[in-house]
Amino acid sequence: MPIYNDIIMEHFKNPRNLGSISDADGIGEAGNPVCGDLMKMYIKVDRKGNKEYISDIKFETLGCGAAIAVSSMTTEMAKGKTLDEVMKITRDDVADTLDGLPPEKMHCSNLASDALHKAIEDYHSKANKD
């Protein structure tokens, strides 16, 4: 069983931005059939001048403690940032912000950033239809 640091345990025990957004502007999902983790990210997008930013973000995750902690931290990293800034968030950024993940859990950080990026792609696809 992997050993988790205090930051990971805090986000696992007290996840931030847990839940869904019924009128989300974008929804992204990512999963890993091997480990069974499934993450869903919901975003609300607002505009300030010519910049679009994430005004609200929520997640639903079925998975291990690392998957929940990574989802929580990813939402914290994205909230209030522009979509361009958020698209640059990588799995390594998430793991570094959590002060490291056990090597066998690094795939969790990839799932969270993938779900977040897919939520933004979903938002763009909906916005382009209007």
The pLDDT of residue 110: 85
- Assess contact for 28 and 117: CB atoms under 8 A: yes
| DSSP assignments along 18-65, one per residue | BS--TT-SEEEEEE-TTT--EEEEEEEEEEETTEEEEEEEEEEEES-H
Catalytic residue (one of 35, 38, 87, 106): 35
- Look up the domain containing 97 and give its range: 6-127
Say whether 108 is catalytic.
Answer: yes
pLDDT in tens, 15-40: 999 999 999 999 999 998 777 889 99
Q: How far is CA 63 from the centre of its chain?
A: 14
Overall domain count for the chain: 1
User: Is 80 inside a domain boundary?
Assistant: yes
Options 30, 108, 111, 120, the catalytic residue: 108
Confidence of residue 85 (pLDDT cuts 50, 70, 90): very high
**Is position 1 within any domain?**
no
The CATH number of the domain holding residue 104 is 3.90.1010.10
Residue 102 maps to a domain? yes
Report if pTM > 0.75.
yes
What average pLDDT does the structure give for the chain?
Answer: 92
104 vs 44, higher pLDDT: 44
**DSSP alpha helices (H): ranges in 14-105?**
65-78, 83-87, 91-97
Is residue 64 flagged as an active site residue?
no
